[in-house]
Structure 1
């Protein structure tokens, strides 16, 4: 290890702090997801109007991603994480106020702040996780994302308890997110290894405030990794948005059973993420991405074309396993080059937000003419694109030993 780098004890502490960030983000998202029906009723909006409010939040996320690299260079990641932690609590407070007042306009503005600050925390956590992964010397990124997924499930479960007990949305939001925000502030110094601003004459500062946009536009590898994120996010979001409805409408199952089966998909996804690091180190990034694409395609084809319900549980396990590693693997690849690593992570992560803005709607439009099951075949095409893009995740040449060298050897075999 370089003398300038932290020792093993400090790296372990940072790993624990980053885990808190991922768990907290999962709980925040679960808090929101679990009360969407109540929020809709409180605001008095239609599903289409609620979707428009969510788009306002997504725009906030995209703006945050575009500015992130420049802000990190000027403010430092530690200060930015602390500011974003406060802002996400303020944003959720605004959403709570909007639900109390029944004001869609206030809710849309609060969503803009909430998602912008949430995605800032998300990108900083992923960039720092990639740094720790490099120092540990083996693939561990998928474990952080497994913690996020399990915390999301826990947040949804806690939300169901709040709802069942008749707790109002504002109280639920303020209690849960307030606790998470305090945890973020408490562990920020632990999670961030080097949070200082970049030197005035550094490459990071020379890129300008919009350095994230520049690396996305100019670097072919970063653009390709962003497209992999686009595919991976589409694969996940399609399951989130459409699977429960497909199980109810096309297979005639109850909403409760559909929720239980969707939970099984998330558990399969999380289980693969827990062990995924070892698979990546053994087989290499490219093989894992290609295998993930094949699993997703097989699962979606079963859902779309299955002659009976018996194939659905198998399909969900395949889909969940295939959806597990694409996103964290592309994030790790984006941080291979240490200069402007945060900007690259933000650039590729922004493609996930773009996918969230476009692909669920595309499937919904297809469903109008083809039916929901057949419209899911679009996910098969997306999985095929991820398979073709997989070589972009091959590690950059580096003299250092460890995970990058090992993966490079594995991936070189398939060049």
Structure 2
């Protein structure tokens, strides 16, 4: 049943130099993905003001992004199996970048909903495609690499948020920023695709993805809990700093940047950590740190506490997705793309549907109350780690290791 994409299905195994080039190309793709999410996150207040909507309407528009992602993920294994990660990443990456550039173009709310629906669908396929290739590159290299790939996503988020913080001080308009970000992303995606490996599953996935079951469902539940917290940072951290703490636009953007910087640092060290620490204790520590950081940001009403708290959330969540996607890619009987897509279906439900849920709570109470949900979810993630990953080993183990992914 398994149809894991490998170079040997249709192409010779890559030389060490070719593998190194492909790995760096993939790092660029992860960087672009993170930067695009950050560009959207930085402009959430801008979008809110442009369309003249409240938190609940904004949350529903975000939910459209989640719906698009979930619909796309039902076909991700089949599409990537047929066209290969490189082809899917190229097309969906370009469409995703174009969607970001169009965020402020419509004058009506329905236009925003349509753009976010397209953004969610293409971003999810882009994510699964680059993760599927990352799994194979890690396998071919014979050592943990996944956390490092995801570190580039976080670095892209940090750079995207940092640029978004700086440009208003230089007089750039939001529209100019979005158009420029799209142009740079398109160039990077095209250049990176040229160096990615040619991988194609023989015949592709035979059936569309079904709902995750068994171990995939448990892993996916943890992914959803972790990505609720991560999605909250993407969509609400800037607005929280501006609205709840009265911060300037530049300082508000630094809230997202502090989260992304801490997550990037945690992931750059993550491959070393994952080779030495078993998944369960790593997941428990991650959940508790994320919960503590969010509680600090919410309970101490000063800007500095918000920045520090968001950094702790980023550090706590830094290796959650690499561990979980790696485990999903190694489930017996399914391809890497199918396993990642199955877990992503629940993960995206958290990442995309979680922030709208927070927005609805904020509409009827406060954004502080909405973000308090993240504390609860992070604690639950820590408490449920043993059941979901109790049989997994660290990547450095000689048997059954979780040594690839996300």
Length-normalised TM-score, structure 1:
0.80
Q: Tell me whether 1:275 sits opposite 2:279 in the alignment.
A: no
Query: Which residue number corresponds to residue 337 of structure 2?
Result: 342
How many residues were matched structurally? Answer: 392
Deviation at 1:19, TM superposition (A): 0.4
More helix per residue: 1 or 2?
1
Structure 1 unpaired stretches of 5+? none
2:179 paired residue number: 174
From the superposition, tell whether residues 175 and 295 of structure 1 become closer, same or farther in structure 2 (CA, over 3 Å).
closer
The offset of 1:373, in angstroms, is 5.1
The equivalent residue for 2:3 is none
Uncovered stretches (5+) of structure 2, i.e. residues with no partner: 1-5
Report the alpha carbon displacement of residue 376 of structure 1 after superposing the two structures with TM. 4.8
Task: Give matches, 1:115-134, under 5 Å.
Answer: 115-134=120-139
- 2:299 is the alignment partner of 1:294: no
Question: 1:233 corresponds to which residue?
Answer: 227
- State the distance in 1 between where 2:7 and 2:63 align: 44
* Structure 1 position 107, deviation (Å): 3.2
Partner of 1:51: 59
SS at match of 1:134: helix
Matched, 1:331 2:335: no
CA pair 176-194 structure 1, distance change in 2 beyond 3 A: same
- In structure 2, what is the equivalent of residue 222 of structure 1? 216
Q: For the residues of structure 2 that align with 1:37 and 1:76, how far apart are their CA atoms?
A: 37
**Higher RCO, 1 or 2 (CA under 8 Å, sep at least 6)?**
2
| Alpha-carbon contact 1:285-1:407 (below 8 Å) kept | no
Residues in 1 aligned to 2:292 and 2:98: alpha-carbon distance in whole angstroms: 43
Change (3 A) 1:121 1:39: same
Deviation of 1:287 (Å): 2.0
Call closer, same or farther: CA 1:396–1:336 in 2, change over 3 Å.
farther
* Alignment correspondent of 2:202: 199
Alignment of 1:15-414 (within 5 A): 15-92=23-100, 95=102, 99-191=104-196, 193-196=197-200, 198-200=201-203, 204-206=204-206, 208=207, 210=208, 212=209, 214=210, 216-217=211-212, 219-241=213-235, 254-255=247-248, 259-260=253-254, 263-303=257-297, 315-337=309-331, 339-364=334-359, 376-387=371-382, 388-393=384-389, 403=395, 405-406=397-398, 408=400
- Whole-angstrom CA distance in 2 between matches of 1:92 and 1:69: 25
TM-score (norm 2): 0.81
Q: Deviations over 1:163-188 (max 9, x none)?
A: 44444444433332123123212221
